[in-house]
Structure 1
Amino acid sequence: MVREHADRELRARETTEGIVYAGEDFQTEVYWREGYFQTTIPYWVRLLGVLSESEDVWEAPSLYEKPELGAWG
């Protein structure tokens, strides 16, 4: 009965982050967990767009540096 009235078909598979649903024009981009959610790269591309080759990317220099002992005071 459902197939008679459905306007599309989705495939599902379980991953470590949750169930992925995918179809012709749809795919899971956000996985809801208890107290937080996990997003995918396609989610952010759709939300913010894509950088062109002429755009500069700026990062904080200390963003990836390992803090030394006593660094927190």
Structure 2
Amino acid sequence: MILIFGTKRKFKNLGALENCHCSRCNNTSDWNFMEYRDWFTLFWIPVFPISGRKEYLECPICRQVYDVPKD
């Protein structure tokens, strides 16, 4: 019997923040508020999460990622 298992990172878009300035590309735009979680997979099907939710902000132009403070 062959078991195929592994991990998969699933992303979720939580909305947009308006008029944020990116220090990398010097553009002002609506940023994506995103979260991701790592899942254990069995035969490519996510079974259960193996990490907590991690949130971040992403510039849609240059794809620079900024951590969200815990506050």
Using structure 1 for the length normalisation, give the TM-score: 0.29
Using structure 2 for the length normalisation, give the TM-score: 0.29
Q: Which is bigger in relative contact order (C-alpha 8 A, separation at least 6)?
A: 2
Q: Larger C-alpha radius of gyration, 1 or 2?
A: 1
Q: Which has the higher strand share?
A: 2
